[in-house]
Amino acid sequence: MMIILIITIAVSGLIIKNKDKKSSSSSNSTPVPTININYTNFADVLSGSSLVGTLPKGSTLLLRFYNFNSGKREWEKSYVMKRGLVVEGISEADITFILHSKYLDTLTNKNFCSVIKTAKENGDLSIETALSKTALLWEFKSMYKYRKCLGF
């Protein structure tokens, strides 16, 4: 009987500790403001995102924006993404994402994944890579939780 009482007290203590941690962490956190993304702040905003922060060391993603204003594809801006860093430019990349620039009007720091999903559903996102599926899975295994966000 004494053992059951000790186990009950220990479990209750753990539950209370976990509740305290959850409530204190939620009360101490401040809401992140929504930031509209444009070409001026694109690199800065995405550099601080968790998606870019979890890129594997040595891996490179390229995001290229285009339009069809003249009736044919015109490149607007391109961004190279490495772990924790986004810079404007073009580079060899493990994966290249090609996105219509019309999605930039609705892009914020909070909806990147949903915008990518919408673009893919509408046929406005292309993904290019020279890596095999096996190589992609192995190299980007740490980003598995972002697979749907990245259009996979």
For residue range 56-89, what is the model confidence (pLDDT) as tens digits? Answer: 999 999 999 999 999 999 999 999 999 999 999 9
CA pair distance 43, 109, nearest whole angstrom: 11
| Number of domains the chain contains | 1
> What CATH number is given to the structural domain containing 51?
3.30.1050
The answer to whether residues 69 and 98 touch, using CB atoms and an 8 Å cutoff, is no
Q: How far is CA 152 from CA 137, 139, 149, in A?
A: 11, 14, 7
CA atoms within 13 A on the CB side of 146: 16
- At 2 the pLDDT is 33
47 lies in which domain range?
Answer: 42-146
Closest CA to 64 of 37, 36, 93: 93
Q: What pTM does this model have?
A: 0.76
- Does a structural domain hold residue 64? yes
- Does a structural domain hold residue 17? no
Does residue 136 carry a pLDDT above 90?
no
Q: Which two tokens stand for residue 8?
A: 């009950």
- Does a structural domain hold residue 19? no
Run of H or E including 14: helix 2-28
Task: Please write the tens of the pLDDT for every residue from 6-54.
Answer: 333 333 333 334 444 444 444 567 888 899 999 999 999 999 888 899 9
Strands 85-88 and 95-100, by their bridges, are unpaired
- Does a structural domain hold residue 10? no
- Does a structural domain hold residue 110? yes
- Does a structural domain hold residue 20? no
CA atoms within 13 A on the CB side of 34: 7
Q: Could you give the 3-state DSSP secondary structure of residue 88?
A: strand
CA pair distance 21, 27, nearest whole angstrom: 10
- Does a structural domain hold residue 14? no
